[in-house]
Amino acid sequence: MFELTDAAINQAISKTETDGRDTIRIGVIGGGCNGFEYIIRYANTVHSSDHILDFGKFSIVIDEDSLPFLYGATLDHVQEGLNESFKIINPKETASCGCGVSISF
């Protein structure tokens, strides 16, 4: 359904342990020049309609509206020079903007 690379799992464990929070929300929202943007942030609330992926030391929640867009995607953690970030690799994307924030399906 939604996969995580080993690098993403290790980084999520590190960040959640450091910040004292254990639930990460991943989703797709409207915005940007291509129509959609990914969100990756700590979840302040978990709704009964959220899909929950339990990884033991942390959980990922995905809202039901984002689930069809994220089905088959993979969360990775990449480091490029001094910059590091989580990156969603999604075969359903049809385009992305030059800055890498906005996507379309």
Give the range among 3-7, 64-68, 79-83 with minimum mean pLDDT. 79-83
Counted domains in the chain: 1
What pTM does this model have? 0.87
Q: Give me the long-range contacts of 48-55 (CB less than 8 A, separation at least 24).
A: 53/1, 53/2, 55/4, 55/9, 55/12
| CATH number of the CATH domain containing 40 | 2.60.300.12
Of 10-14, 29-33, 36-40, least confident by mean pLDDT is 29-33
Domain span at 26: 3-104
Confidence of residue 68 (pLDDT cuts 50, 70, 90): very high
pLDDT at 100 over 90: no
For 8-65, the three-class secondary structure string (H helix, E strand, C coil) is HHHHHHHHHHHHCCCEEEEEEEECCCCCEEEEEEECCCCCCCCEEEECCCCEEEECCC
Q: Please determine, for residue 3, whether its predicted confidence score (pLDDT) is greater than 80.
A: yes
